[in-house]
Chain A
Amino acid sequence: MEGIKILLVDDEEDFRTTLASRLKKRKLDVTDAGSGNEAIELVKQGSFDVAVIDVKMPGTDGVETLARIKEISPFIEVIMLTGHASVESGIEAMKLGAYDYIMKPCDIDELLIKVGDAYQRKIFQEKHAATIKRKQKT
Chain B
Amino acid sequence: MNKKENRHSYYARLRLRLMAAIFFVAFVPLIVLGGTIYYHYSTNIVLLIFVLSTLVIIVSTILITRRVIGNLEEIGRERAEIADHLVQCYKLAAIGKLASSIAHEINNPLAVIAEKAGWMEDLLSEGDIKNDPNYSELFKATQDIKKHVDRGKKITHRLLGFVRRKEIEYKEIDVNLILGETVYFLERETRFRNINIISEYQAHLPKIFSDEAQLQQVFINILNNAIDAIDKNGTIYISTTSQNRGVLVSITDTGPGIPKEVSERIFDPFYTTKPVGKGTGLGLSTSYDIVKRLGGRMTVESQVGKGTTFHIMLPRSQPGGRGQKTEDRGQRSEVRR
Contact = CB atoms under 8 A, between A and B. Distances in A.
A21 B119 CA distance: 8
A23 to B, nearest CB: 10
A21 B103 CA distance: 27
Contacts of A83: 104, 107-108, 111
B215 interface: no
Interface in A78-95: 83-85, 87-88
A14 B112 contact: yes
A41 interface: no
Interface in B29-85: none
Given A12-B108, A18-B119, A104-B107, A88 B164 contact: yes
Interface range for B? 20 to 34
Contacts, number: 58
B100 interface: yes
B313 interface: no
B311 interface: no
B58 to A, nearest CB: 66
A12 B157 CA distance: 20
Contacts of B119: 18, 21-22
B108 A85 contact: no
A26 B246 CA distance: 57
Contacts of A21: 119, 122
A4 interface: no
Nearest to B153: A105
A12 B111 contact: yes
B163 interface: yes
A22 B122 CA distance: 7
Contact of A18 (B112, B149, B153, B160): B112
B173 interface: no
Given A103-B157, A104-B108, A105-B110, A85 B116 contact: no
Interface string B106-136: 0110111111101100100000000000000
A85 B112 contact: no
A49 to B, nearest CB: 22
A88 B118 CA distance: 28
Interface in A1-56: 12, 14-15, 18-19, 21-22, 25
B103 A85 contact: yes
Contacts of B110: 104-105
Contact of B118 (A22, A84, A85, A104): A22
Nearest to A14: B112
A79 to B, nearest CB: 15
B104 A85 contact: yes
B111 A84 contact: no
Contacts of A130: none
A84 B149 contact: no
A15 B163 contact: no
24 contacts: A14-B112, A14-B116, A15-B108, A15-B115, A18-B112, A18-B119, A19-B115, A21-B122, A22-B118, A22-B122, A25-B122, A83-B104, A83-B111, A84-B100, A84-B103, A84-B107, A84-B160, A85-B163, A87-B160, A87-B164, A104-B111, A105-B114, A105-B149, A106-B114
